[in-house]
Amino acid sequence: MAWYDQSVGNQEICALQVAVIKGKAGVFTSLFHYHRMFESMGIRTACLYRGPATARLEEAGVGLLPAPTSLTTPFFRILPSFSETRVLVSDAFDGRTPDLVMVHSDLALENIRTLFPKTTIFTRCHTDKTKRKRRADVVVTLNPDQHERVSAELSSYQPIVRMLGHPFCGRNEAIAMPKGPLRLNFCARFVPDKDPLTLVRALALIAPEKRPVVRFIGDGPMAQEIKDTSERLEVSASFVPWQDNPFQNFTTGDVLVLPSRWEGLPWLLLEAQKLGVPSLVSDIPGNRLAVNDGETGVLFPVGDSAALASRIIEMIETPSDLYARAKQGASCFDSRFGPAAFWDGLKAAAKEFYA
C-alpha cells in the first residue's frame, strides 16, 4: 500500500526533512512545525540538516542527521558523501528509505531527487522563486497570490502545485495571559519589508489623549530610524529585543500589528490566531489568508497610515468587534492550519501526482 493511502499513526511511514541554511528565519521555524506535524500524525521523522542552533532543534525533539557540505553542490553524486548520506538516512529509519521528503532548501533538491529516486519529493515556497523546484513531485504554496504565480511558472514542468499553507503545531506549554491595558505590538525584523514606520505614522495621526501605547519587539537595521521617527512625531514607543516566544509577555490587552509589505504566510500571525490574540494586519495575500479575509482579524491597505489610524480608533471605540474576531480565529484555527488538515493535504497531493 502506498504511504499516502495508509492510516494516521502508522509508524511504517518515514518522512525526512532536508535543510541547509545560514540563518534562522522562516526555514528554521518551519523545521519545528513540520517535525511536530509528522510526530503528531504518528510518522517516523528525521531531518538532514546543516545550519545554526542545532541545540535548539534537538531540544525540541528534532532528530538531526548531519548534512554534508557537498549536499548543495553539483559534485555531491560523485563524492563518497553521496553513499554515506544514503546509509545515514537508512540507518535512521532502520534500513528503510523515506517514503516522502520535504526539501526546505532548493539547492539540495536535485541531489535529493537523485539520492532517493523512488521517494515522493515535496518542496515548499518560502519565497516566490521556482527555478530549482522543477524536479519536485509536489510544490507547496503559502497563499493564493503565490499559488497563482508559481502554478503558471511551473505549468510546463513535472510537479503539481498545491496551496496548503503551513502546518502550525503550537508550543507544548499553554500561555495564560494576565489582564492588561490596550497596547499595540510590532513583532518582526526592523526592515523595510515589515514597514514599521507605517505604524509610527499612523499613531502620530491619533490625538495624544486617545493614542494607545506601542511596543516594538525585535531588532534590525531600521532600529534607529524607528526611534528617530517616533521622537520626531512625538510618538511614545518602547523597544525590547526579539523574543523566541513574544506571546509569553502578552496580556489580554495586547494587539498584534503587522504592517508588512510582503509575507508568504507569517508564522507569528498564525500563532496569534491560534492563541486568540487580536490582530491588525496589512492587506497582502499571506496576511489575508491567515485572518480568513478579515473574518478573524482586521485588514488595512498596505502602507496606508491614515487607514491604519482609522482602524486603531475603531478598535479603541468598539474593542468587542476585534476581540470577537480573534476568538473566532482561535475556534476555527485547527481545521484551517492544524497538523491533521495539512497532512491530509500532503496525502491528497501525492495521490493526485501518482494518479
- According to CATH, the superfamily of the domain at 183-336 is Glycogen Phosphorylase B; (3.40.50.2000)
Spell out the domain ranges in the chain.
3-169+338-354, 183-336
**What tens digit of pLDDT does each residue of 155-211 get?**
999 899 999 999 998 764 556 788 888 999 999 999 999 999 999 999 999 999 999
What are residue 5's phi and psi, to 5 degrees?
-100, 0
Angle at 140 between CA 327 and CA 5, to 5 degrees: 95
Give residue 172's pLDDT: 47
Give residue 244's pLDDT: 81
Query: SS3 for the chain, per residue?
Result: CCHHHCCCCCCCCEEEEEEECCCCHHHHHHHHHHHHHHHHCCCEEEEEEECCCHHHHHHCCCCEEECCHHHHCCCHHHCHHHHHHHHHHHHHCCCCCCCEEEECCHHHHHHHHHHCCCCEEEEECCCCCCHHHCCCCEEEECCHHHHHHHHHHCCCCCCEEEECCCCCCCCCCCCCCCCCCCEEEEECCCCHHHCHHHHHHHHHCCCCCCCCEEEEECCCCCHHHHHHHHHHCCCCEEEECCCCCHHHHCCCCEEEEECCCCCCCCHHHHHHHHHCCCEEEECCHHHHHHCHHHCCCEEECCCCHHHHHHHHHHHHHCHHHHHHHHHHHHHHHHHHHCHHHHHHHHHHHHHHHHC
Give residue 10's pLDDT: 57
3-169+338-354 and 183-336 share one CATH topology? yes
**What tens digit of pLDDT does each residue of 259-305 get?**
999 999 999 999 999 999 999 999 999 999 999 999 999 999 999 99
- According to CATH, the superfamily of the domain at 3-169+338-354 is Glycogen Phosphorylase B; (3.40.50.2000)
Give residue 173's pLDDT: 53
Residues of the chain with pLDDT under 50: 172
